[in-house]
A and B are shown apart, each in its own frame.
Chain A
Amino acid sequence: MTIAPPFNEAPPRLLARWLQTGRPADLAEHARQYRRPATDSGAEIIRAVTAAGLRGRGGAWFPTGRKMQAVATHGAAAGAAYVVVNAAESEPASSKDQLLLQAAPHLVLDGAELAAVAVGARQVSVCLTRGAEGMAELRTAIAERRAAGWHRAGVSITAVGTPRWYTSSDATALARFIGGGPAKPQALATHVRGVRGKPTMVSNAETFAHIALIARYGARWFREVGTSDAPGTWLVTLSGAVVRPGVYEVPVGASAADIIALAGGASEPWQAMLLGGYCGSWLPAEAMLDRPLAPEALAAAGVAPGVGILIGLPANACGLAETARVVTWLAGQSARQCGPCFNGLPAVAEELAALTWHRDRRALSRARFDLAMVYQRGGCAYPNGTVALTESALRVFADDVRRHLAGGGCDWVTRAPTLPLPEPLPAGEPWR
């Protein structure tokens, strides 16, 4: 007899239809699967989302009901509000939003319309990075709803292609971009001053899809899986040393080992895993493989789950060299607005490279100093993410640091990097 782990008892929700049919759900199929959500009351939607305990899936895990209430309240005072669906997904190792938007576009769009009703917005912008797959399909889906009369009267949805910079998918950067500015972060809270200075609900595409399901099936249903603190399922893009890399939908609280099992197991033993993308943290595999991936369970270890990205680092790879390469890339993605960020991140990247490749002992202490100098000193949270990634690497790969400084070789160059990076952006890549 095999004992099924708890996550197997919980079927996927967002990707259920996709896993059955293997093709994107057009409106006809969406309508067969889901009734139109009954409610037209904004307050009722917010109440349901709050009772469901939904937390944002874009990485911050902020309670969505509270965000909606704040935007609704400020929006009523300001006379307007906006909704922004963030599917820009500039994390190189993530593909969950793109998959979700292609597999179940109407679930995301239903959720966005419900949110618009809830916060009193008349305009929804769905943001996709320029050049990403799925823009044509998204436009088709939006047109399809309108033609079939499935859309909500008084709420218009537009698809927006956003700049390709990593920092452009920040909530404040998107709000600024939609309002006509550059897609660079700004030090304003979007729920107070977002698009055109008006209160704006910016949330991850996955969050909206959950809202659509909560509106249909209710808060109690939503809480049937996941943890009490963070109910529901979440989408995780799994890559690195696994047999079948891909996007997996698991209850919040499923461990890395659970997700690896779904992916057919590890292809090589893991020494560490990167959780939460390039603003996330390295975790030692041995200690953390079985720990529930949920905000409260991870807080004990001093980390946050972040956005759903899990990368398995094989035992014979070098986490230090991998991190040095990614931090160099991250340093080049700064919006160049705040001195501590655009000076500090390149300095940290250089120091990491120096200690990794040139046995520079002093570089380690310089890096520690500069990390402290950069932390919390930017106008947005971007530099903090790079600090978290670097500090977790210096902690988890302490042995590699010692080995590199002692001149022991590193066979990183003989194998392809585990952490993916996109093609470098051309000179003059626009922020508009």
Chain B
Amino acid sequence: MTGRRRRWAVLRGDRRRESLVGQRFHVDIAACDGYGTCAELVPELIRLDVWGYPIIGDEVIQTQLAAHAHRAVRFCPKLALTVVPADPR
């Protein structure tokens, strides 16, 4: 599934919030313009570099952060943030 389609799957809710659990964030860095919304909403998993672009670690999304993660994907102004399965890089 491509990034854009995966995003819509998350947004439409046909993947429930719980389904974000165990996945990790992925940012389409070419689409990202450094608004910083994601780091604001999920600082536990997303930091910003000195230029304001997100740094995403390898950590998977835990249950207690699923709602925040869902919101971060939803509110990315450039639609650049998605979640991907944790295993393949």
> Are A and B co-members of a single complex?
yes
Given the complex, which residues of A lie within 8 Å of B8, measured CB to CB?
none
Stretch at the interface among A202-210, A372-380, A410-418: A372-380
Q: Name the residue on A nearest B32 (C-beta).
A: A339
The smallest C-beta distance from B70 to any residue of chain A, in angstroms, reads 23
Residues B34 and A339 in contact, CB atoms below 8 Å apart: yes
Judge if B9 is at the interface, Cβ distance under 8 Å. no
Judge if B87 is at the interface, Cβ distance under 8 Å. no
Determine the distance from Cα of A338 to Cα of B28 in the docked complex, in whole angstroms: 9
B window 44-89: CB within 8 A of A: 49-53, 55
Partner of B28, one of A187, A344, A373: A187
Judge if B40 is at the interface, Cβ distance under 8 Å. no
Residues B52 and A339 in contact, CB atoms below 8 Å apart: yes
Partner of A338, one of B29, B50, B55: B29
Determine the distance from Cα of A377 to Cα of B28 in the docked complex, in whole angstroms: 10
Contact code string A342-378 (vs B, CB < 8 Å = 1, else 0): 0110000000000000000000000000100100011
Residues B30 and A343 in contact, CB atoms below 8 Å apart: no
Residues A339 and B50 in contact, CB atoms below 8 Å apart: no
Given the complex, which residues of B lie within 8 Å of A339, measured CB to CB?
29, 32-34, 51-53
Judge if A186 is at the interface, Cβ distance under 8 Å. yes
Interface residues in B, total, Cβ within 8 A: 12
Determine the distance from Cα of A344 to Cα of B50 in the docked complex, in whole angstroms: 9
Q: Name the residue on B nearest A340 (C-beta).
A: B53
Judge if A337 is at the interface, Cβ distance under 8 Å. yes
Residues B30 and A340 in contact, CB atoms below 8 Å apart: no
The smallest C-beta distance from A70 to any residue of chain B, in angstroms, reads 16
Residues B29 and A379 in contact, CB atoms below 8 Å apart: yes
Given the complex, which residues of A lie within 8 Å of B30, measured CB to CB?
186-187, 337-338, 379
Residues B28 and A340 in contact, CB atoms below 8 Å apart: no
Partner of B29, one of A370, A373, A378: A378
Determine the distance from Cα of A336 to Cα of B30 in the docked complex, in whole angstroms: 9
The smallest C-beta distance from A387 to any residue of chain B, in angstroms, reads 14
Residues A373 and B34 in contact, CB atoms below 8 Å apart: no
Determine the distance from Cα of A379 to Cα of B26 in the docked complex, in whole angstroms: 11
Given the complex, which residues of B lie within 8 Å of A187, measured CB to CB?
28-30
Closest 6 CB pairs of A and B: A339-B53, A343-B51, A337-B30, A379-B30, A338-B29, A379-B29
Since A338-B29, A340-B49 are in contact, a sample of 10 more A-B pairs with Cβ atoms closer than 8 Å, ordered by chain A residue number, is A186-B30, A187-B29, A338-B53, A339-B51, A340-B29, A340-B51, A344-B51, A373-B49, A377-B49, A379-B28
